[in-house]
Chain A
Amino acid sequence: MLKKILSPGALAATLAIAAPSLAHHSFAMFDQTKVVNLRGTISSYRWVNPHVSLFVEVQEGPVKHGVWAVELTSPGNLTRLGWSRQSLKVGDKVDIEVNPLRDGALGGGFRKATILSTGQVLQARLVEIEKPGG
């Protein structure tokens, strides 16, 4: 019945608007006991609260090929770890370590990235900024 009333685009928009807000989430959906190494190209890098995220297109290596969604901590915390909204750019070729999604979908929690053109390594370990001072 709904399909008769709404166009596919309108239906999709309605479903999207009706979806609950899900921004601030635990990282337990990522399997902390596993590490997956991705080599690919950054296709999206979103410097946004509460979780910075990036997409990386993976077409090589012994992993599922396709676009992987990778999530990180907040922009504020990443700033303190030396990141900025310019740290990664669309088109950058990278090696990325992630804790993969437990459900097997193409996604993971960020561990480390290496920008292949410069060798720069980016990490996001909050424990490194817990000590007093600085």
Chain B
Amino acid sequence: MIRAPLFALALTLGAPALAAPDNDPITPAPTARDWLELAHRPDWSGSWFPVISDQFAQVNTNPPPWKPEVQKQIDHWDAEEKAGRPRGLLLDCLPHGVPTFYLITHNSIEILQTPGRVTILGESDGNRLVRIWTDGRKAPTDPDPSFHGYNIGVWQGDTLAVSTTAILPQTWLAVSEAVGIAIGEGAHVDQKFHLIGPDTLAVDLTITAPAVLTRPWQTRRLFTRKRARSFEIVEGVCRQGDFEETTDKWGNPAWRPVAQSTDGNVVAPTK
């Protein structure tokens, strides 16, 4: 007998919290003009493969201006990597995040343009996705921090200027898959995407990370365009390699864990 009134009371008390907040702007449906406007944007179709050799060259000739106490940690992890004891920044399969997504990827990306938005999709690890809002909005005053942050883009001619804020402080600022440091609080990453050749895309990054850098780090990453179908993005699930095919007790296809070392490489069976 008491339960029904209590339930009604709970619904009443809960109602205000369920109502849409006043500051929740509606994104309007794109118009035909919005779609036509895309035709005037630079053509970034195809797949973009990272110039991996240049990633290493960039770090060697223009390393991040680490704070002295951070430099000691970087030197330690660098020595560990060279000694064959890689730290394995990506072992947990959490996203690279911004800016490491651009800095050290070894896999292709693709860039999708739709009204009010540019979307960057990565291939490997299954969790690389950057939404860049180009609809004129401002960044929220207090967005939830995330691996890829909140991305606002502005077209400056044929250059897309992107400002990334609200990056989770645990997100790596990495120079390789084994050397990096958590980017820390208050990080802000500016990027300028632009073609420097018919099939070469430059991403000019200015990385502001007051917790770990003495000054903003400016660096460039290059991607080359591929149109062959063999370069089209394929599914890349990070943890798939942790499992191998088997069947369950009913005969259904299933997965079971594989043997791996603490460094993550597959371990051969012993006889």
Chain A residues within 8 Å of B, Cβ to Cβ: 16-17, 19-31, 46, 48-51, 53, 55, 66-69, 71, 73-77, 79-80, 101-103, 105-107, 126-127, 129-134
Q: Determine the distance from Cα of A71 to Cα of B263 in the docked complex, in whole angstroms.
A: 13
The distance from the CB of A55 to the nearest CB of chain B, in whole angstroms, is 6
Docked Cα-Cα span, A31 to B81, in Å, equals: 11
Q: Which of B24-32, B142-150, B219-227 contacts A (4 or more CB under 8 A)?
A: B219-227
In the complex, what residues of A have CB within 8 A of residue B108's CB?
76
Of the 9-residue stretches B1-9, B34-42, B210-218, B230-238, which lies at the interface with chain A? B230-238
A23 touches B84 (CB 8 A): no
B91 touches A131 (CB 8 A): no
Complex Cα gap A76–B122 (Å): 12
Residues of B within 8 A of A101 (CB): 265
Bound form: Cα–Cα A49–B239 in Å: 8
B189 within 8 Å of A (CB atoms): no
Q: Using A67-B269, A76-B107 as known contacts, say yes or no to A133 and B199 having CB atoms under 8 A apart.
A: yes
Q: Tell me if B52 and A22 are in contact (CB < 8 A).
A: no
Within 8 A of A (CB), among B82-100: 82-93
B84 touches A50 (CB 8 A): no
Minimum CB–CB distance for A4 against chain B, Å: 24
Closest CB pairs A-B (n = 3): A25-B264, A102-B84, A132-B199
Knowing A69-B267, A74-B124, A126-B106, say if A21 contacts B81 (CB, 8 Å): no
* B238 neighbours in A (Cβ, 8 Å): 21, 23-24, 49-50
Interface residues, chain B, with chain A CB atoms under 8 Å away: 49-54, 81-93, 106-108, 123-126, 176-178, 197-200, 224-228, 230-231, 233-242, 244, 256-257, 260-271
Chain B hits for A127, CB < 8 A: 52-53
Q: In whole angstroms, how far apart are the Cα atoms of A74 and B244 in the complex?
A: 16
Contact residues in A for B90 (Cβ distance below 8 Å): 24-26
A74 touches B228 (CB 8 A): no
Contacts A55-B268, A132-B224 given; does A76 touch B197 at CB 8 Å: no
Residues of B within 8 A of A16 (CB): 256-257
Q: Which residue of A lies closest to B222 (CB)?
A: A130
- The answer to whether B241 touches A28, judged by C-beta atoms less than 8 angstroms apart, is no
Name the contact of B265 in the complex, choosing from A71, A77, A79, A126 (C-beta under 8 A).
A71
Chain B residues whose C-beta falls within 8 Å of the C-beta of A24 in the assembled complex? 90-91, 93, 124-125, 177, 238, 241, 264
If A25-B177, A67-B270 touch, does A74 touch B86 (CB 8 Å cutoff)? no
B residues less than 8 Å from A75 (CB atoms): 234, 236
**Chain A's nearest CB lies how many Å from the CB of B37?**
27
Q: A74 — which chain B residues lie within 8 A by C-beta? A: 106-107, 123-124, 236
How far, in whole Å, are A22 and B84 apart by their CA atoms in the complex?
16
Cβ-defined partner of A21 (8 Å) among B83, B178, B226, B242: B242
Q: Which B residue's beta carbon lies closest to that of A129?
A: B49
Q: Beyond the given A49-B240, A130-B49, could you list 14 further A-B residue pairs with CB under 8 A, ordered by the A residue number? A: A21-B92, A22-B263, A24-B93, A25-B263, A26-B88, A26-B89, A31-B84, A49-B237, A50-B125, A66-B271, A106-B268, A126-B106, A130-B52, A130-B53
Q: Which residues in A have their C-beta under 8 angstroms from that of B177?
A: 24-26
Q: Which B residues lie within 8 Å of A17 (CB)?
A: 257
Asked if B260 contacts A19 (CB within 8 A), the reply is: yes
B53: chain A residues at CB < 8 Å are 127, 130
Q: Are B236 and A67 in contact (CB under 8 A)?
A: no
Query: Pick the contact of A26 from B86, B92, B200, B224 — CB < 8 Å?
Result: B86
Distance to closest chain B CB from A85 (angstroms): 11
